[in-house]
């Protein structure tokens, strides 16, 4: 299909090789929206100007935003500049934590580790209804995190769960997610292999076994994609034309 005319590409920031755009890339292709990958894990430079892109999307990763990694400070500056310029940003897990910190929030250890399928509730406020009307009052998301973000000044919490109070926040056309909605069956299989030891030694009540995670996939993954379709469509509305 032809790309949307006069549209700058969406920049997708990959921080770890196994945590790519996943289902989000499928949605972009369906909507004929051009995109490019900034492979932070492979040493790609952080772009200097957010306005070169229609939007910025930040994926997950096993590192912490509080780690002293050379790319974190320039990414935080880029996110802040993007929000100031009105270029939409979207974050998944680590990506959501980066957005929080860039906008004046903090990232700390969550009270329990979350791995696997878990319900998130759509909060009762106008931004939540705008972003998640299709998924209210709750949906099953995928989780893999030990840290959590605070809601930065000027933002509104839009999702919560029993094990993590801040599952998502929104500010204008920008959305930060703690949970993962971008998962594909291939990504889940890969994470279950690479993270098997982490799962085996976890003591959190919010960590599922590999068997439980895989057993949920046939029913829960299509439902997750349905929820993702709605929020991605809402985010795409904010993309700036070139």
List phi, psi (to 5°) of 167.
Answer: -95, -15
For residues 42 and 17, what is the distance between their CA atoms, to the nearest angstrom? 8
Is domain 10-236 annotated with CATH 3.40.50.880?
yes
For residues 188 and 143, what is the distance between their CA atoms, to the nearest angstrom? 11
Query: DSSP states of 88-138 as a string?
Result: -EEEETHHHHHHHHHTT--EEEEEEEEEEEEEEEEPSSHHHHHHHTTTTTE
pTM for this predicted structure: 0.96
For residues 130 and 219, what is the distance between their CA atoms, to the nearest angstrom? 25
> What pLDDT tens digit does each residue of the chain (242 aa) get?
345 657 899 999 999 999 999 999 999 999 999 999 999 999 999 999 999 999 999 999 999 999 999 999 999 999 999 999 999 999 999 999 999 999 999 999 999 999 999 999 999 999 999 999 999 999 999 999 999 999 999 999 999 999 999 999 999 999 999 999 999 999 999 999 999 999 999 999 999 999 999 999 999 999 999 999 999 999 999 996 55
Q: Say if CB 13 and CB 58 are below 8 A apart.
A: yes
Query: DSSP states of 180-217 as a string?
Result: B----HHHHHHHHHHTHHHHHH---TTB--HHHHHHHH
For residues 172 and 51, what is the distance between their CA atoms, to the nearest angstrom? 17
Sheet with 35-39, edge to edge strand ranges: 35-39, 10-14, 55-58, 89-92, 174-177, 168-171, 156-160, 107-122, 138-149
């Amino acid at each position: 299909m032809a790309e949307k005319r006069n549209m700058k590409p969406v920049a997708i920031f990959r921080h770890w090789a196994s945590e790519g755009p996943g289902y989000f890339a499928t949605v972009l292709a369906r909507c004929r929206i051009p995109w490019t990958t900034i492979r932070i894990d492979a040493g790609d430079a952080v772009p200097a100007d957010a306005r070169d892109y229609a939007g910025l999307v930040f994926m997950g990763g096993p590192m912490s935003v509080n780690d002293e990694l050379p790319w974190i400070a320039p990414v935080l500056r880029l996110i802040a500049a993007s929000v100031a310029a009105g270029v939409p940003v979207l974050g998944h897990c680590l990506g959501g934590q980066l957005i929080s910190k860039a906008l004046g929030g903090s990232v700390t250890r969550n009270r329990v580790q979350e791995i696997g399928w878990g319900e998130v509730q759509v909060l009762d406020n106008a931004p939540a209804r705008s972003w998640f009307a299709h998924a209210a009052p709750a949906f099953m998301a995928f989780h893999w995190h030990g840290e959590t973000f605070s809601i930065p000044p000027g933002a509104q919490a839009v999702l919560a769960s029993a094990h993590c109070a801040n599952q998502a926040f929104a500010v204008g056309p920008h959305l930060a997610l703690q949970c993962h909605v971008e998962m594909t069956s291939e990504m889940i299989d890969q994470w279950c292999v690479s993270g098997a030891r982490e799962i085996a030694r976890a003591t959190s009540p919010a960590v599922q076994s590999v068997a439980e995670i895989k057993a949920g996939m046939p029913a829960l993954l299509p439902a997750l994609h349905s929820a993702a379709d709605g929020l991605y469509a809402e985010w795409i509305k904010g993309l700036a034309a070139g």
